[in-house]
Amino acid sequence: MSSISLHNKQFAPYLPAAEITTAVQELGARLNADYADKQPLFVAVLNGSFMFAADLMKEMHVPCEIAFIRVASYEGTSTTGEVKEILGLREEIEGRHIVILEDIVDTGHTMRALLQTLRAKQPASLEVATLFIKPECLQHELDIRYIGLSIPNEFIVGYGLDYDGLGRNFPDVYKAF
């Protein structure tokens, strides 16, 4: 892993792909155990969670489905604080076991709004599985049961996360410097 340049920013190596793979496998094992008899619907939040969702689905050994939604709250390297739903969920979720798949939870604005919207549709259960969480950034109290890696407040790219559209394709994760 060597440093990369995206737009006008430099990024240093942070987390190798092997560490991410281990975190995804551990999440998969927990979800398989917890949803063994429930046939969950995984709701992946695009665009950032696409790699995480794909790799996690490969770890799932229980009957399950996946759907995709798209929300946005970022511009550049900072959150706008405003959540905009771009592409909505078409599947009926009432009475179903739902697991939201998110790449990263930092302020919690997006996740709070998403949980509120989905709870109104009366699922049987509603949980969040996030690959990354930044505890020191959280501005909302969220009960997130499935966390891959807890990280400090660093702006990261790679493994689906981007900086203004670039960097999602890297298997490793890099942090801004």
Domains contained in the chain, number: 1
Query: Is residue 177 in some structural domain?
Result: no
In this structure, are residues 144 and 105 in contact, taking their beta carbons and an 8 Å threshold? yes
Task: Point out the catalytic residue in the list 106, 162, 164, 172.
Answer: 106
Tell me, what's the pLDDT at 35? 98
Q: What is the pTM of this model?
A: 0.91
Model pLDDT, residue 28: 98
- The two tokens of residue 137 are 């950034």
- Determine the Cα–Cα distance for residues 113 and 75; give it in Å rounded to an integer: 18
Residue 89: what pLDDT? 87
Sites in the chain below the pLDDT cut of 70: 72-86
User: Where in the sequence is the domain holding 143, given as residue range(s)?
Assistant: 17-153
Known catalytic residue: 164? no
**Domain presence at residue 57:** yes
Angle at 6 between CA 50 and CA 173, to 5 degrees: 45
Q: How many helices (H) and strands (E) does the chain have?
A: 3, 10
The CA-based angle 28-2-167, given to 5 degrees, is: 60
Asked whether residue 169 is assigned to any structural domain, the reply reads: no
Query: Is residue 106 assigned to a domain?
Result: yes
The CATH number assigned to the domain holding 87 equals: 3.40.50.2020
Whether 8 is covered by a domain: the verdict is no
